[in-house]
Amino acid sequence: MKEEARAAILDGAEQVLVKQGLQAVRMDDIAGHVGVSVGTLYNYFEDRQQLLQVLLEVRARELLATLDAELERSQGSPYRTRLHGLLRAILEHSQSHFRLFSLLVEEVMRNGRSSDPGRRRLQEMTRELTRRVELLDQEGMKQGALRPEDARYYPTLLLGMVRGLLLQQLLLKQPLAVDEAIAPLLRCFLEGAAPRP
């Protein structure tokens, strides 16, 4: 029950944050939206900053759980199919929380940096994503879909392409359709950008 209440508070907080903005939202606003007292919010979170940090941690864990489920589901499929599923999971998660992530990017652009806990969380998330891509890429090399001599660069290149695409969408506030974004990512990563013969 307590976990359900916490999840409902976090979902409500995300809705209020995207409507009012990171700086404008108050704990009173979140409590009112969720239908609880402010005291109840403070039973779960010290302050607005901690609530935001927990919200981001929960969204990161959700993404990793989705990726793990997708990689488990696609076990035994060709590398390209598995990579497609991985990219789809990342992009769909980003689209689901597009307005929240847009606000966070704006905040970093405005302040020129993220908080130390935010930076640490981003580094941790990058390590987790990299680990999953490395495992998938090992399978891609076994299947002959990737050259082994460049293996150490693949996670950075792939995740860099995904990050760049997402950042462009967030800055322009124009999300792409997931399928529209996956096709060029797969094509450029697996086949390069050179014209096809």
Asked if 121 and 56 count as a contact pair (C-beta separation under 8 A), the reply is yes
- 92-114, pLDDT tens digit by residue? 999 999 988 888 877 777 776 55
Mean pLDDT estimate for the chain: 90
Given a cut of 60, whether residue 149 has pLDDT beyond it is yes
Q: Which domains does the chain have, with CATH numbers?
A: 1-45 (1.10.10.60), 53-191 (1.10.357.10)
Task: For residue 191, give the amino acid letter.
Answer: E
- 47-71, pLDDT tens digit by residue? 988 998 899 899 999 999 999 999 9
Q: Cβ neighbours of residue 126 under 8 Å, at least 6 residues apart?
A: 159
Two tokens, residue 16: 């209020």
